[in-house]
Structure 1
C-alpha cells in the first residue's frame, strides 16, 4: 500500500518524533546517527501481532494503541516512499516451519517475502543484497545476527537524498575556541539575505541556535547548536521541541544586536548592497552507527518480547516467537554537493584615489558551527524527523604537498 501524497497523520508524526526524542537522549558525546522513523514501523507491526505484556510494552514505546499501529505504519512507509528523493521498504524472511497468519502478512505494505534456508552463507547474502539495494548502497549489510535458531527476520529500509537549494562553498575552518580550537578543518560557507533561516530559542536545556538548510525534495536539515556544556541528548531534544512548537525560536530578522545565541552574533555592518546578510560557517560530516536496540530494550518496548520462555506474537504465527536480536545501521553525510558550476573572474587594476566607504548600513548575522553540534533531518511539510545525530568530530583539512622538483623543472 502506498499513499499518493506525502501526507502523514499528525498522530503518527508526534509518536515517531517522541521516540526520536527519547532515543536521542541516550546519545553520548562521541557522536552518532539514528533513525526512529526506520524502527517505529517494525515495532508497530510487531505490536499488531503481539499479546500480553509484550503488546502493552510495545504500545507504550510506540505512543499509540496496538490496534491502530499497523495502519499507522503502512501510512508512514507509504508517505516515506512517496517523498521525492526518498525510499522505504519492508522485508520478511521465515523458516518453513513458521506458518504466518494471512491477516498479519496482508498488512505489510508491499513487503519482500522470502525464505530462510538454514544455510547461513546463502541467507546472509540474500539479506545483505536486499539491504544494499533498498538503500542505494548506503547500507551494504543487514544488521541482524543469523544462526541456527533464527526463524524469522523482519526488516525495514529507509533512504533519503536531497540537494541544497543554495549550495555551500568548500573552505577551511579554524576555530579559535572550544574543543576544535587550534585545528585546521574542512569547512563549508555560504551567505544569504534570508535572515529567518536561523533562529534562537530559549529551551529547557538553555539557549539553542537553529539553522535550517533547505533541500530541493522537501527534506531539510536543521543544524542545532547549544551552549558548550549542554550534552547531545539535551540539544537534540530541544531541537525537536522547537520543531513541535513546544519551544519558540525567534527568527534572525527579529533578533536584537549582540551575541543572541550559541555561535550567533548580530551586528550592523557597512555594505555595497542594501540587503541584510546571514553568513554561515559549518563543518561537513559523514557519520555511521550500528545500534543494538536490545541494550535499550525498555525504550523500544522489547523487554518482555525477548523472554524466550514464551511466545509473544500469536497474531503473527502459531509458531511461538520471541525477539532474539534487534539492531539498526545508520549513515548520514552532509557536504557541499548537489550543485556544480564553473566561472572565470578577471579584474583589471589601474592607479586611482582612495575608495569611498560602503554606502549602506545593513544587518549582518554570523553563525558558526565550529564545535560539536546536532542535526535533525526533517520532512518540511509534516515535520517528521527522519534521522537525528550528533557531530562530535570534524574533518581535518589536508593540505596538498608542494612538489619543489616539478616547480624547478617548470
Structure 2
C-alpha cells in the first residue's frame, strides 16, 4: 500500500472521528468508505467529481488505481478480507472501462422483486464478513438502479492473552460499578507511552495481534471528547506528536490512567500491569448526513446525473450512502467488520531483592481505539467505548 493512500485514508478517519457525537459507543471504518468514494469519483463529472476529490485527498484520476492497490494490500494481510460488489437493474449498463476497474467484484442484478434483491445483498454482506455484518446497510426500492458496496473484515489473536476478571472504578463516570475487566502483565514497558497532543496528554497502549494487526487503546484527559481523542491517536500514529515510552516516563502519574513507581521484586524484570474493559460495539452511519465530509453534496441532487463515467442512461445520483460496522475486543483477540454501500436511483508475598520499575495502567473510563496494520500504519477501524460491560457474578451451587 502506498504511503500517500494510507495517509489519505487516515486523514478521513481523523476527520470523521472529529464529527462524531460526544460520549457515545461507536465504531467506524474509513478504510471501508475510501475505496467506494474513489470508485464513485472515477465515474463522476463536474462539481460532484471535485467534491469527491476533496474528500479523498487525491485527484479522481489517481483514486481508482489507489483504491485497487489498497484493496489488494488488505487482502494480503493475514486475517483481513475485503470485497467489492456491484448490482444493477437490467436497464442499467455500466461502462466496461469503469466496471472493469472494480477489483474482483461481485457483479449481480437487482430484480423486480425488491425483497429478493434484499436477500441477495444481505447474503453477500454476511458471506464477505464471515457473518459479522448480517445485512446490507442500504435499502433497495423500486427507484434503486445501482448498488455499489465494499466489505471488510479483520480478525486477529493476541500474542499475549488477557485474563478475564472484574473491576470497580473509584472515580469517573464508571465509578462504583462492578464491571467486566481484562487484565494482563508484561515486562515490555514500551507497549505503553504518553504523547502531548492537541487534546492534551494521551496514553496509548499497543495490544499486538498475531497477524500484524494491532489495536491501540487511547485514554485522554477525562474532559476530552471522543473525536478529539481519536484524532489525536491518528496524529500520534502519523508521527505528528512524539510518544514517550513507558521505560522513559517519570515516576508518578505521567499520563491518563498511568501510575509509575519503583517496587521491590524477586526479578530484575520491570513490568506493566494493565486493566481495561472488553467491548462489543455495533454502529450504523448515514454518510449523507455528513455529505460535505464525504464529498457527496452535489452527488445527492437527483434532478440530474453526476456519474457519466459509470453509465449514460439512466442519469445517476446518490440516494443512499450508509455503513454498518462492528468491533469486538476480548481476552483472546479482536475482530471487526464493516459493509459500506451506496444506492443510486434511476497468595503470600515472596522475599524481595530488587527494585524495579512498575507501571500500572487502568483504563476504567470511556476510551478510544484504533485498529492498525502494523507495517503500513493504515487504520482499519476506529471507535469509542462509552459504556462498559457489567460484571456477571456466577452463582455458586
Band of TM-score, shorter chain: over 0.9
The separation in 1 between residues aligned to 2:331 and 2:396, in whole angstroms, is 26
Shift of 1:401: 2.5
Is the CA contact 2:370–2:381 (under 8 Å) kept in the aligned structure 1?
yes
The separation in 2 between residues aligned to 1:331 and 1:392, in whole angstroms, is 15
Shift of 1:357: 3.9
The separation in 1 between residues aligned to 2:86 and 2:112, in whole angstroms, is 15
Structure 1 residue runs without a partner (length 5+):
1-7, 340-346, 348-353, 404-410
Task: Please state which structure has a larger fraction of its residues in strand.
Answer: 2
Mapping for residues 8-407 of structure 1, pairs under 5 Å: 8-28=1-21, 29-319=23-313, 320-338=315-333, 357-403=351-397
2:338 maps to none
Is the CA contact 2:81–2:152 (under 8 Å) kept in the aligned structure 1?
yes
Shift of 1:338: 4.8
Shift of 1:27: 1.9
Shift of 1:355: 7.9
Shift of 1:402: 3.5
**Residues 238-273 of structure 1, C-alpha deviations (whole Å, 9 max, x = no match):** 000100000111000111111000000110001111
Is the CA contact 2:118–2:139 (under 8 Å) kept in the aligned structure 1?
no
Aligned length: 383
The separation in 1 between residues aligned to 2:112 and 2:181, in whole angstroms, is 49
Shift of 1:337: 2.0
The separation in 1 between residues aligned to 2:62 and 2:85, in whole angstroms, is 21
Using the size of structure 2 for normalisation, the TM-score is 0.95
The separation in 2 between residues aligned to 1:387 and 1:220, in whole angstroms, is 11
Q: SS of the residue aligned with 2:209?
A: coil
The separation in 2 between residues aligned to 1:361 and 1:118, in whole angstroms, is 74
**Residues 192-233 of structure 1, C-alpha deviations (whole Å, 9 max, x = no match):** 000000000000110000000000000000000000000000
The separation in 2 between residues aligned to 1:377 and 1:77, in whole angstroms, is 16
Q: SS of the residue aligned with 1:188?
A: strand
**Residues 94-119 of structure 1, C-alpha deviations (whole Å, 9 max, x = no match):** 00111111100110000000000121
**Residues 332-365 of structure 1, C-alpha deviations (whole Å, 9 max, x = no match):** 00000259xxxxxxx9xxxxxx987411100000
Q: SS of the residue aligned with 1:257?
A: coil
Is the CA contact 2:86–2:105 (under 8 Å) kept in the aligned structure 1?
yes
Shift of 1:169: 0.3
Distance 1:122 1:356, change over 3 A: closer
Please give the root-mean-square deviation of Cα atoms over the aligned residues, in Å.
1.3
Q: SS of the residue aligned with 1:326?
A: strand
- Between Structure 1 and Structure 2, whose CA radius of gyration is higher? 1
Shift of 1:173: 1.2
Distance 1:163 1:44, change over 3 A: same
Structure 2 residue runs without a partner (length 5+):
335-346
**Residues 107-138 of structure 1, C-alpha deviations (whole Å, 9 max, x = no match):** 00000000001211110000000000000000
